[in-house]
Homo-oligomer: A and B are copies of this chain.
Amino acid sequence: MKTRSGCPVNQTIELIGDRWTMVILRDIMFGNRRTFRELLGNSLEGIASNILSARLKMLLSEGLLTRKPDPGHKQKSIYSLTEKSIELVPLMVQLGAWGRRHLSPTHELSVRAELLENGGNEMWERFQDDLRHIHLGHPRKTPGMTVLELLDNAYRKAAGITGQETGQSAD
A-to-B contact residues, CB < 8 Å? 3-15, 17-19, 22-23, 26, 44-46, 84, 87-88, 90-106, 108-110, 113
Report how far A4 CA is from B3 CA in the complex, Å.
30
- Which of B7, B8, B13, B94 is A19 in contact with, Cβ under 8 Å? B13
Establish whether residues B23 and A13, one from each chain, have CB atoms under 8 Å apart when the complex forms.
yes
Q: A9-B96, A12-B103, A18-B19 are in contact. List 8 more A-B contacts (CB 8 A).
A: A9-B22, A11-B103, A12-B99, A13-B22, A14-B19, A87-B98, A87-B101, A90-B98
Most chain B beta-carbon neighbours within 10 Å: one of A18, A91, A104: A91
Establish whether residues A95 and B6, one from each chain, have CB atoms under 8 Å apart when the complex forms.
no
Establish whether residues B95 and A90, one from each chain, have CB atoms under 8 Å apart when the complex forms.
no
Count of this chain's copies in the oligomeric assembly = 2
Establish whether residues A45 and B4, one from each chain, have CB atoms under 8 Å apart when the complex forms.
yes
Tell me whether chain A's interface is mostly helix, strand or loop, or mixed: helix
Q: Which residues of chain B are near A108, meaning CB under 8 Å?
A: 6
Establish whether residues B22 and A17, one from each chain, have CB atoms under 8 Å apart when the complex forms.
yes
Q: Which residues of chain B are near A96, meaning CB under 8 Å?
A: 8-9, 12
Report how far A95 CA is from B76 CA in the complex, Å.
33
Given A99-B11, A104-B11, are A44 and B94 neighbors across the interface (CB < 8 Å)? no
